[in-house]
Structures are given as structure tokens and as C-alpha cells.
């Protein structure tokens, strides 16, 4: 695996790969890699000639300075892991390399930004779209892989791809979970053992809400989730929403729908975690 730090070098490599007809799979990450990321790499290695991963803790998508500062950075360990999963190139640029000058460009995603992560992390999706757009331009992938854990991010990137006409296939890979159900996340590394145990409540709540979907009014399910989360010290619910899995807009009643997404964000101590499940209503 080759490690590239310069924008000019990745451009040259991608140009050569494209000229020789290679299909490129791309996984953008912020590092602190876990099994969830590794599954994306393996899928890309199976489905493409060449796999490129980027590791860049993108400052423009953090609306909280301490979250940016505390985001785990484990480049050496990540590099070793990538060598085991068929990654061919790791692009790991510095902030100066990615953002040589300030940009006046602003991305806005309309109603996608008025719910959940959009409301609670103002400016976050502008930052995500800026970096993902830049990386797509540089890496020119045929396929780009994202995890379903960040469902709203997937919806934003889908809009970015459609809106700017990127010629690539977007793959949304199912969330990878620990044995006890906790969604894998780089932020899990910041949990102490007691918090790690408590963090399993997020997935548990999603499962309980799923069981109630056809039995109770949706507003009642939301209040029950809020009540359930209030019982536990060190857990602080930011939101629980029942939403359309593509537009992420809140669903008031199930009507004739086939699917809904149950989405949650909560603080476990100081660490903010998110999770979701997409429920097929014909199967419950």
C-alpha cells in the first residue's frame, strides 16, 4: 500500500489509473478505523480494481472545537490495518494541503438540514459536502462507500452527487455492530468502560421502538423513548426521530409506507453518539 500526502501526487496516480482502465473504489474516512470501515474496504477491494482510502480529520465539519480536538487520531495503527484489507492507496493529507486558502463557497441542503444532525450540528453538512466534493474531484472514484450509521450524511452525499453530477455509484453499507449491538464508531474509543456499557442503550431503545411501531401512536413512542433515556444518569438524549429513510423528514403516521428510519442521537457522558435502523414495515 502506498501512502500519499500531496494533492498533486494523488492526482497523478488517479490519472494513470483511469488511463489504464482501472475501476477505483473509494472510502473517505477520518481515521481511527474500526471493523465498520474495514468492511467498506473489503467490499471495495472485491468490487473494484483499485481501492483508495482517505484519512483526514476535517476541521470544517466540526461545529464543536473540543470534539475536533478530541477526535481520536491513530494514523500509524490505521495504516497497518489498511494493509490487511486490500487497500492500495492511503491518501492522508494535511489541513494546509486540503485547504490552501479560505473558500467563500457555501453548501446548503434545504430541508435535509432542518432536521436531526442538521439542526444539532449547524454547518456540519456544509463541511462534509466541502471535503467529500474535494475528495471526489481528486480521487475520481467509480464507487464510493459510506456507512449507514451516518444515514443523514448518506442522504446529503446523494444530493451532492446528483446536484453536481459526479459520475460515480454511491454505496450505503449496513451499520456494523459490536456483539452487544453498539454501532461501531471511532467515537466509541473515547468511552470509559462504564460508558461503553451504557452506550448499548441506544441500540436497545431503537429495538424497543421498532417493536412498538405498529402498536402505538408514533408520538407516544417518541415520549416513551425520551422517558426511558431520562431514567439513566450519564445518558442525555438529543433527539429520537421516526423519519423517511431518504428525505429524513419526520413521519407523523405510517400510512401506506414501506419503510421508516428510527434515528437517535445521545450523549454518553461527554461523548455524542448516533445510531439508526431502517425498518421494513411489511416485515413487522
If one asks whether residue 131 binds ligand PAF (CB under 6 A), the answer comes out as yes
Rounded Cα distance between 77 and 90, Å, is 13
Is 37 in the active site? yes
Q: What distance in Å separates the CA atoms of residue 280 and residue 118, rounded to the nearest whole number? A: 25
Interaction residues for ligand PAF, span 149-178 (CB under 6 A):
150, 153
Decide if residue 185 touches ligand PAF (CB under 6 A).
no
Binding mask 18-47 for ligand PAF (x = CB under 6 A): ----------xxx-----------------
Give me the count of residues in the chain: 284
Closest to ligand PAF by CB, 16 vs 164, is: 164
Residue pair 150/30 in contact by the 8 Å Cβ criterion: no
Of 63 and 254, which has the nearer Cβ to ligand PAF? 63
Instruction: Rank residues 28 and 141 by Cβ distance to ligand PAF and give the closer one.
Output: 28
The least distance separating ligand PAF from the CB of residue 282, rounded to whole angstroms, comes to 30
Q: Is 130 in the site for ligand PAF (CB under 6 A)?
A: no
The active-site residue, picked from 34, 37, 126, 227, is 37
| C-alpha grid cell, residue 85 | 484489507
Terminal C-alpha separation, the chain: 45
How far is residue 98 from each of residues 123, 133, 198, measured CA to CA in Å?
A: 18, 12, 37
Distance from C-alpha of 150 to C-alpha of 274, rounded to nearest angstrom: 8
Asked if 193 and 166 count as a contact pair (C-beta separation under 8 A), the reply is: no
**Grid coordinates given for 122:** 449547524
CB of 60 to ligand PAF, least distance (A): 9
Interaction residues for ligand PAF, span 48-77 (CB under 6 A): 58, 61
Q: Which of 232, 241, 178 is nearest to 209 (CA)?
A: 241
- Residue among 60 and 201 whose Cβ is closer to ligand PAF: 60
Q: Which residues are catalytic?
A: 37
- The footprint of ligand PAF (CB under 6 A) covers 28-30, 58, 61, 128, 131-132, 150, 153
Amino acid at each position: 500500500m502506498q501512502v500519499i500526502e500531496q494533492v498533486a501526487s494523488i492526482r497523478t496516480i488517479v490519472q494513470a489509473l483511469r488511463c489504464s482502465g482501472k475501476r477505483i473504489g473509494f472510502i473517505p474516512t477520518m481515521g481511527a478505523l474500526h471493523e465498520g470501515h474495514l468492511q467498506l474496504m473489503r467490499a471495495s477491494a472485491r468490487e473494484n480494481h483499485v481501492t483508495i482510502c482517505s484519512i483526514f480529520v476535517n476541521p470544517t465539519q466540526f461545529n464543536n472545537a473540543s470534539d475536533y480536538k478530541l477526535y481520536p487520531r491513530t494514523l500509524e495503527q490505521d495504516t497497518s490495518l489498511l494493509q490487511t484489507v486490500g487497500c492500495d492507496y492511503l491518501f492522508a493529507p494535511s489541513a494546509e494541503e486540503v485547504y490552501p486558502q479560505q473558500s467563500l463557497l457555501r453548501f446548503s441542503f434545504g430541508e435535509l438540514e432542518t432536521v436531526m444532525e442538521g439542526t444539532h450540528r449547524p454547518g456540519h453538512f456544509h463541511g462534509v459536502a466541502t471535503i467529500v466534493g474535494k475528495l471526489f474531484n481528486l480521487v475520481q472514484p467509480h464507487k464510493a462507500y459510506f456507512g449507514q450509521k451516518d444515514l443523514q450524511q448518506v442522504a446529503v452525499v446523494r444530493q451532492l452527487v446528483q446536484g453536481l453530477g459526479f459520475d460515480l455509484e454511491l454505496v450505503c453499507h449496513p451499520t456494523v455492530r459490536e456483539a452487544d449491538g453498539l454501532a461501531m464508531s471511532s467515537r466509541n474509543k473515547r468511552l470509559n468502560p462504564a460508558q461503553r456499557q451504557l452506550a448499548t442503550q441506544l441500540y436497545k431503545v431503537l429495538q424497543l421502538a421498532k417493536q412498538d411501531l405498529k402498536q402505538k401512536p408514533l408520538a407516544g413512542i417518541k415520549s416513551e423513548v425520551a422517558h426511558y433515556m431520562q431514567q439513566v444518569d450519564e445518558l442525555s438524549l438529543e433527539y429520537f426521530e421516526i423519519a423517511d429513510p431518504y428525505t429524513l423528514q419526520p413521519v407523523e403516521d405510517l400510512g401506506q409506507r414501506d419503510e421508516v428510519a428510527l434515528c437517535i442521537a445521545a450523549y454518553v457522558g461527554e461523548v455524542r453518539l448516533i445510531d439508526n435502523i431502517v425498518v421494513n414495515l411489511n416485515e413487522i
